[in-house]
């Protein structure tokens, strides 16, 4: 690919430091090692205060509306959420409630989540994947789940998790391309 791939990452954690952010950054670093990327990172903890008060898209401040526009025009989405009550966080969902339902058609989405233990690993396939299936996005076959003990000082610190990240990116590569102009046009119409 001659042009850089437009990657938008959404990380659902509300605090810093954050394992979810660390996992997101590890995935993005692995991607950047393999292909040329332009990365935009959206942190729920940062945009949360202006996002939570909005119940309609026209109530969103310009900066958050731009973030949503970035999600809607990405070539690849990397989404990561901490597990709350066996699912994505409410605020994570609230952000995607604003995303146009046709804006992610065929867009590859790399799913990631973090939890206290391995017991919630199925959140990827039972909560995150159906959400992006709704969008008719191309949810990538390999998701990445990190448990608390896979991190040290809020950095990925587990060989198996590192291997999983590498595998997720490896398997994603053949499926990545620049967004079909037709998709953007359909959304704009």
Least separation in angstroms between CB 95 and other proteins: 7
Among 93, 158, 167, 187, binds other proteins (CB under 8 A): 93
Q: Could you give the angle at the alpha carbon of 26 between the alpha carbons of 174 and 129, nearest 5°? A: 60
Q: Could you give the angle at the alpha carbon of 155 between the alpha carbons of 140 and 83, nearest 5°? A: 55
Among 84, 121, 157, 167, binds other proteins (CB under 8 A): 84
Helices (H), 35-180: 44-52, 62-72, 90-97, 123, 129-134, 159-172
Among 94, 121, 162, 167, binds other proteins (CB under 8 A): 94
Q: Could you give the angle at the alpha carbon of 132 between the alpha carbons of 51 and 117, nearest 5°? A: 80
Residue 36 sits in the site that holds other proteins (CB under 8 A) = no
Q: Could you give the angle at the alpha carbon of 138 between the alpha carbons of 94 and 111, nearest 5°? A: 55
Query: Per the omega criterion (within 30 degrees of 0), is the bond before 106 cis?
Result: no
Least separation in angstroms between CB 179 and other proteins: 20
Using CB under 8 A, which of the segments 3-11, 82-90, 106-114, 149-157 binds other proteins?
Answer: 82-90
Contact predicate 9/77, CB 8 Å: yes
- The footprint of other proteins on residues 100-119 (CB under 8 A) is 101
Least separation in angstroms between CB 4 and other proteins: 29
**CA–CA dist 75, 176 (Å, integer):** 8
Using CB under 8 A, which of the segments 90-98, 145-153, 162-170, 172-180 binds other proteins?
Answer: 90-98
- Site residues, other proteins (CB under 8 A): 14, 48-49, 51-53, 55-56, 84-97, 99, 101, 126-127, 130-131, 133-135
């Amino acid at each position: 690919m001659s042009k850089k791939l437009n990657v938008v990452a959404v990380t659902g954690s509300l605090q810093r430091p954050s394992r979810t952010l660390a996992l997101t950054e590890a995935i993005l670093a692995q991607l950047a090692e393999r292909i040329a990327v332009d990365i935009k990172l959206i942190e729920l903890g940062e945009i949360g205060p202006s996002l939570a008060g909005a119940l309609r898209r026209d109530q969103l401040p310009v900066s958050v509306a731009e973030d949503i526009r970035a999600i809607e025009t990405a070539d690849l989405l990397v989404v990561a959420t901490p597990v709350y009550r066996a699912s994505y966080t409410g605020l994570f969902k609230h952000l995607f409630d604003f995303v146009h339902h046709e804006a992610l058609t065929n867009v590859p989405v790399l799913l990631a989540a973090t939890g206290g233990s391995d017991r919630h690993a199925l959140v990827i396939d039972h909560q995150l994947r159906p959400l992006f299936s709704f969008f008719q996005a191309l949810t990538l076959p390999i998701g990445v789940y990190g448990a608390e003990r896979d991190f040290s000082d809020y950095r990925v610190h587990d060989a198996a998790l590192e291997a999983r990240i590498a595998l997720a990116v490896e398997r994603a590569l053949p499926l990545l391309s620049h967004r079909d102009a037709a998709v953007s046009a359909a959304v704009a119409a």
